[in-house]
A = this chain, B = another copy of it.
C-alpha cells in the first residue's frame, strides 16, 4: 500500500515511479510517537517538516491563562512545519492526539527533492495552498456559524478529508477527539459541545459513541452545516455534482509541464 502522502500528492501532480520512490525515501525513517506529545513547539525554530503517516495530531495555540485553540487537524498524509526557516512562520505548536507515526524531513532534504522533481515541487506547493484554504474555511466557520453548524461543518470536513485518504468506513470514521477538543476547535465550551452533539444525535444527523462517528445521511448534515467541499481541493474538475467516492483525477488538471509542472 502506498503512503497516504503519495496518494494525496498524486491528486496534485502526476508522479512518476521515480517521484514516488523519492517520496518514499523522504519518509523512510518514520517513528511511532505516543499520544499527547508535541512534535513542534511554537517558540522553537522549525528546522524540518513532519509528515504524518499514521494517527492524528493537531496544531494549536495557547494563551497563558489556559485558553487553547486548535487551528488544524493533521491526519495521515498531512505535512506540518516548513522547510524554510524564518522567524514567526511557525506560530503554532503541534501535538499528537493518538499514537502517531511520523517522519521528520530535514528542510534541505525536502527542498532538494523539490528542486530535482517538479511534480514534488508542485505537490508540496499545492498542498500548502490547500492547507491555507482549509484554514480560511475554519476562520469563517468559527466566525459566522452557530454552534450547531460549526460542529456539523467540522464533521463534514473531517470525514471528507479522511475519505480522500481512504480512512473512512461505509458511513463514518474513527474520531479520536474528546468533546473538549471539539470545543477548542470550533470555539465553544465543552458543556455546550455536549448539548450540541445531543442535538445533532436527536435530529438523526450523527451517531457518536466510543470514538466512532457515524453519518447516516451525509447530504442532510452537509445542508445543516452549509458545507461546500470545494475548499478541500479534492475535486479533479470544477463544477458538477459530487457523486461517488472513487472519482479519478482529471489528467488535464494534474498534468505537469515546464517549471514546477504547472499547467496554466
Contact = CB atoms under 8 A, between A and B. Distances in A.
Interface stretch (A18-26, A31-39, A79-87, A205-213): A79-87
A259 interface: yes
Contacts of A106: 264
A144 B89 contact: no
Interface in A112-157: 112, 114-115, 122, 125-126, 128-133, 135-140, 142-145
Chain A contact residues (Cβ within 8 angstroms of B): what range?
35 or more
Contacts of A69: 139-140, 143-144
A252 to B, nearest CB: 10
Contact of A111 (B64, B85, B260): B260
A238 interface: yes
Interface of A: 12, 45, 47, 59, 61, 63-64, 67-69, 71-72, 82-92, 106-108, 111-112, 114-115, 122, 125-126, 128-133, 135-140, 142-145, 184-187, 226, 229-238, 253, 259-260, 262-264
